Amino acid sequence: MMPAASDPGPPSTTPAVDVLVIGGGVIGLVTAWRAAQRGLRVTVVDPSPGGGAAQVAAGMLAAVTELHYGEEALLELNLASARAYPEFAAELAEVSGQDIGYRACGTLAVALDADDRAQLRELHALQQRCGLEAQWLSGRECRRLEPMLAPGVRGGLRVDGDHQADPRLLTAALVTACRRTGVEFRRTRAGKLLCSAAGGRATGVELADGGRLGAGRVVLAGGSRSGMLAGLPEELRPAVRPVKGQVVRVRMPQSRPPFLSRTVRAVVRGSSVYLVPRRSGELVIGATSEEQGWDTTVTAGGVYQLLRDAHELVPGLTELPLAETRAGLRPGTPDNAPLLGPSGLDGLLLATGHYRNGILLAPVTGEILAEVLTEGELPGRWQAFSPMRFAGVPA
- Using CB under 6 A, list all residues that contact ligand GLY: 60, 66, 245, 286-287, 330, 356
Compare residues 63 and 236 and give the one whose CB is closer to ligand GLY: 63
Whether 172 contacts 178, CB under 8 Å = no
Residue with the shortest CB distance to ligand GLY:
356
Least Å distance, CB 73 to ligand GLY, is: 18
Least Å distance, CB 247 to ligand GLY, is: 8
- Determine the Cα–Cα distance for residues 250 and 277; give it in Å rounded to an integer: 10
- Determine the Cα–Cα distance for residues 197 and 208; give it in Å rounded to an integer: 21
Least Å distance, CB 17 to ligand GLY, is: 33
φ and ψ of 94, to 5 deg = -70, -45
- Determine the Cα–Cα distance for residues 323 and 313; give it in Å rounded to an integer: 20
Least Å distance, CB 171 to ligand GLY, is: 16
Contacts of 328 (CB under 8 A, 6+ apart): 52, 53, 55, 56, 57, 244, 245, 247, 296
Compare residues 98 and 289 and give the one whose CB is closer to ligand GLY: 289
Least Å distance, CB 289 to ligand GLY, is: 7
Least Å distance, CB 272 to ligand GLY, is: 7
Please name every residue paired with 328 in a beta bridge, in sequence order, or none if there are none: 245
Compare residues 51 and 214 and give the one whose CB is closer to ligand GLY: 51
Whether 258 contacts 280, CB under 8 Å = no
User: How many angstroms from the chain centroid is the CA of residue 35?
Assistant: 19
Whether 282 contacts 125, CB under 8 Å = no
Whether 303 contacts 319, CB under 8 Å = no
Least Å distance, CB 165 to ligand GLY, is: 12
Compare residues 17 and 61 and give the one whose CB is closer to ligand GLY: 61
Of the CA atoms within 13 Å of residue 280, those in its CB half-sphere come to 16
The torsion region of residue 172 among left (phi > 0), alpha (psi -120 to 50) and beta comes to: alpha
- Determine the Cα–Cα distance for residues 64 and 214; give it in Å rounded to an integer: 42
Please name every residue paired with 218 in a beta bridge, in sequence order, or none if there are none: 20, 348
Q: Do strands 13-22 and 212-220 pair parallel, antiparallel, or not at all (unpaired)? A: parallel
Compare residues 278 and 330 and give the one whose CB is closer to ligand GLY: 330
Q: What is the DSSP letter of 163?
A: E
Compare residues 84 and 93 and give the one whose CB is closer to ligand GLY: 84
Residues making up the chain, counted from first to last = 395
Least Å distance, CB 53 to ligand GLY, is: 9
Least Å distance, CB 174 to ligand GLY, is: 19
Compare residues 188 and 272 and give the one whose CB is closer to ligand GLY: 272
Compare residues 49 and 332 and give the one whose CB is closer to ligand GLY: 332
Compare residues 66 and 309 and give the one whose CB is closer to ligand GLY: 66
Long-range interactions of 229-234: CB distance < 8 A, separation 24+: 229/22, 229/190, 229/192, 229/193, 230/191, 230/192, 230/193, 231/192, 231/193, 231/194, 231/195, 231/205, 231/206, 232/193, 233/199, 233/345
Q: What do you get for the CA distance between the two ends of the chain, in Å?
A: 45
Compare residues 57 and 207 and give the one whose CB is closer to ligand GLY: 57
Least Å distance, CB 287 to ligand GLY, is: 4
